[in-house]
């Protein structure tokens, strides 16, 4: 059996081993393309691949596990070995990764008072139950068991979050108890305050940064006890959030110089080698002064594009890497041909209002007061709150207390107002005092004609992606958590419809379409050849798209992303179906499938 050790350098079977790794998240790329991406990493000179493991995907409901399809972790591990790469696994409960809730399962939030990423028994109990299932899958592939896993991470950037050493110790003890024998690492920001809080004896500290390599490594040297220096996340680009004004890109010349210095002085894991896609509702968010949810594409200005195309950055990095290792011949790569293609304009064939199909795709729960998604055992998507204006003649002012993240409010199936993030935390004025006074001055008979009493009130709330970084993570319940206040009083008696949209096949397009309301739109196209393609949603407002039942992710006219990536393996030869769920009522009769991306 082989052995991997940490001394003054990394050693594999007694010989120095310089880690030249690239981050690739198996859960962001369809499995049919895993080999292509791994071969391209090897052909660039990489000898190692690194991946997070997303708890929320593998245990979507408490005690229910999924390791199939894009989540077939064991097949991915075997493939990395078959391709000839070593593997770094980051199985910590929290992964950040600009991923929904940083990889933590949303069902943790059902429990009042839940504390995350500290030595809090209800949290640790769930971590242990998860590891009871996960660890037997991955420990058998450790290098000292005949596999290719050389390192595992205890926690992720913990020094940015907290400094509970008892938690870190317990995490390490749990991993060892479950059979982890390869060396353990921590990865933190490259500053003393991060490394002080996130490092722990028995795990080798590494740093995460994207520039100033020499300066960052000098700080890290103070924590490695003469051991090897490693940047565990060399940020080669950055992620996009909706409305940020344009695709984020790095400085290539600076990045190339930093990589060179990094390999001269130590070891590297390039983040991201390929970013991939936040399919479904799995994008994360950040929150500093305001909510900034990430776009569906996780292109990251990586070494490969979102759809795996080789970039100039790839070619330049390969030149640098060739100074430190021999670039291998990878003849198998010539057999990996992935095409882009355009299927043209598709015309809308059928459409139906969300209100018409509620009972088909959701189950009603009734309550005197509204409750959050998590309390109704819902993790992602949308939730609709329905009531009747029984005592209000008109909504003059409205406020949604403890609500996240975005609310479309309709009265009598007509849009009234949309509130987002900070707007939800204050009272919205629908009618001015002057308008109210003018209406009240009318004869009673005229007032009654204008009255909204007895009309439907509907509030569609969207989870835009839970925050994946910082203390706000403990406050990420979605939907309406407290109450709806109308004209200064709480409004009661609600029917609630959870809408994770994981059953899109149940949408009945024979039912009524109501213009201007949230609705579903169906398109079809024939495919003689299956190629990668890109869904152009120009002219549409906001929502999400499905191909043959698979959730491609969110779209939003504010950009910067203007097209959604569709990998060829999701397309069938013959007839294919696309369903758009549009919440703003802003639609066109067409969508277009084009042969190149547009991410701003």
Q: For residue 451, give the nearest of 461, 443, 462 by alpha carbon.
A: 443
Residue 572 is given by DSSP the state P
Is there a contact between 139 and 178 (Cβ–Cβ < 8 Å)?
yes
Residue 423 is among the residues annotated as catalytic for this protein: no
Q: For residue 155, give the nearest of 98, 197, 105 by alpha carbon.
A: 197
Q: How far is it, in rounded angstroms, from Cα 471 to Cα 231?
A: 25
Tokens read off for 14: 């007694």
What is the length of the chain?
A: 600
> Which residue shows structure tokens 């491609």?
552
Q: How far is it, in rounded angstroms, from Cα 76 to Cα 141?
A: 11
Is there a contact between 236 and 302 (Cβ–Cβ < 8 Å)?
yes
Is there a contact between 39 and 333 (Cβ–Cβ < 8 Å)?
yes
Q: For residue 183, give the nearest of 220, 224, 234 by alpha carbon.
A: 224
Q: For residue 276, give the nearest of 309, 245, 305, 240 by alpha carbon.
A: 305
Catalytic, out of 100, 126, 233, 374: 233
| CA distances for 496 relative to 81, 471, 531, 595, angstroms | 48, 29, 41, 41
Q: How far is it, in rounded angstroms, from Cα 422 to Cα 118?
A: 29
In the chain, the N- to C-terminal Cα span, in Å, equals 49
For residue 169, give every residue at least 6 positions away whose Cβ sits within 8 Å of its Cβ, in sequence order, or none. Answer: 200
Alpha helices in 328-400 (DSSP H): 354-361
- What is the rounded radius of gyration, in angstroms, for the C-alpha atoms of the chain? 26
Is there a contact between 218 and 295 (Cβ–Cβ < 8 Å)?
no
Catalytic, out of 157, 306, 374, 392: 157
Is there a contact between 230 and 50 (Cβ–Cβ < 8 Å)?
no
Residue 102 is given by DSSP the state G
Tokens read off for 598: 């547009």
Q: How far is it, in rounded angstroms, from Cα 238 to Cα 233?
A: 12
**In this structure, what are the phi and psi dihedrals at residue 342, rounded to the nearest 5 degrees?**
-115, 135
Residue 290 is among the residues annotated as catalytic for this protein: no
* Active site members: 157, 233
């Amino acid at each position: 059996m082989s052995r991997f050790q940490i001394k003054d350098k990394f050693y594999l079977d007694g010989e120095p081993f310089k880690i030249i790794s690239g981050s690739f998240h198996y859960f962001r790329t369809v499995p049919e393309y895993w080999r292509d991406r791994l071969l391209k990493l090897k052909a660039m000179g990489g000898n190692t691949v690194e991946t997070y493991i997303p708890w929320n995907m593998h245990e979507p409901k408490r005690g229910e596990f999924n390791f199939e399809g894009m989540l077939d972790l064991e097949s991915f591990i075997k493939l990395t070995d078959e391709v000839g790469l070593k593997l770094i696994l980051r199985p910590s409960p929290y992964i950040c990764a600009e991923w929904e809730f940083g990889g933590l399962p949303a069902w943790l939030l059902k429990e009042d008072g839940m504390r995350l990423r500290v030595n809090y028994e209800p949290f640790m109990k769930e971590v242990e139950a998860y590891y009871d299932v996960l660890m037997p899958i991955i420990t058998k592939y450790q290098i000292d068991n005949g596999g290719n896993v050389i390192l595992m991470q205890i926690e992720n950037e913990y020094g940015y979050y907290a400094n509970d050493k008892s938690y870190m110790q317990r995490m390490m003890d749990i991993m060892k108890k479950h059979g982890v024998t390869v060396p353990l690492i921590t990865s933190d920001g490259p500053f003393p305050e991060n490394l002080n809080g996130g490092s722990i004896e028995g795990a080798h500290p590494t740093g995460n940064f994207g520039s100033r390599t020499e300066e960052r490594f000098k700080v890290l040297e103070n924590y490695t006890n003469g051991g090897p220096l490693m940047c565990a996340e060399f940020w080669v680009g950055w992620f996009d959030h909706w409305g940020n004004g344009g695709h984020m890109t790095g400085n290539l010349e600076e990045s190339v110089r930093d990589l060179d210095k990094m390999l001269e002085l130590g070891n590297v894991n390039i983040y991201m080698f390929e970013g991939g896609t936040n399919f479904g509702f799995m994008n994360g968010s950040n929150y500093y002064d305001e909510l900034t949810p990430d776009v569906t594409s996780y292109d990251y200005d990586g070494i490969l594009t979102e759809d795996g195309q080789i970039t100039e950055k790839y070619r330049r990095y390969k030149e640098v890497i060739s100074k430190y290792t021999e670039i291998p011949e990878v003849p198998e790569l010539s057999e990996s041909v992935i095409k882009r293609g355009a299927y043209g304009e598709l015309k809308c064939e059928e459409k139906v209002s969300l209100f018409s199909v509620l009972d088909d795709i959701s189950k009603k729960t009734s309550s005197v007061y509204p409750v959050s998604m998590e309390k109704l055992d819902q993790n992602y998507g949308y939730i609709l709150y329905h009531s009747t204006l029984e005592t209000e003649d008109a909504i003059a002012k409205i406020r949604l207390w403890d609500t996240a993240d975005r609310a479309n409010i309709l009265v009598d199936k007509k849009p009234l107002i949309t509130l987002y993030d900070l707007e939800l935390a204050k009272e919205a004025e629908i009618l001015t005092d002057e308008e109210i006074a003018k209406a009240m001055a009318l004869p009673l008979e005229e007032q009654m004609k204008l009255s909204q009493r007895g009309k439907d009130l509907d509030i569609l709330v969207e989870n835009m992606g839970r925050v994946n970084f910082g203390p706000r993570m403990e406050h990420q319940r979605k939907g309406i958590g407290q109450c709806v206040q109308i004209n200064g009083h709480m409004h009661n008696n609600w029917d609630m419809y959870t809408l994770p949209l994981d059953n899109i096949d149940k949408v009945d397009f024979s039912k009524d379409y109501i213009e201007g309301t949230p609705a579903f739109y169906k398109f079809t196209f024939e495919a003689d050849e299956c190629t990668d393609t890109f869904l152009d949603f120009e002219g549409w407002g906001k929502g999400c798209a499905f191909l043959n039942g698979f959730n491609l992710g969110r779209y939003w006219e504010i950009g910067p992303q203007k097209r959604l990536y569709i990998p060829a393996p999701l397309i069938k030869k013959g007839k294919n179906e696309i369903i758009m769920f549009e919440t703003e009522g802003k639609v066109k009769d067409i969508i277009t499938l084009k042969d190149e991306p547009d991410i701003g």
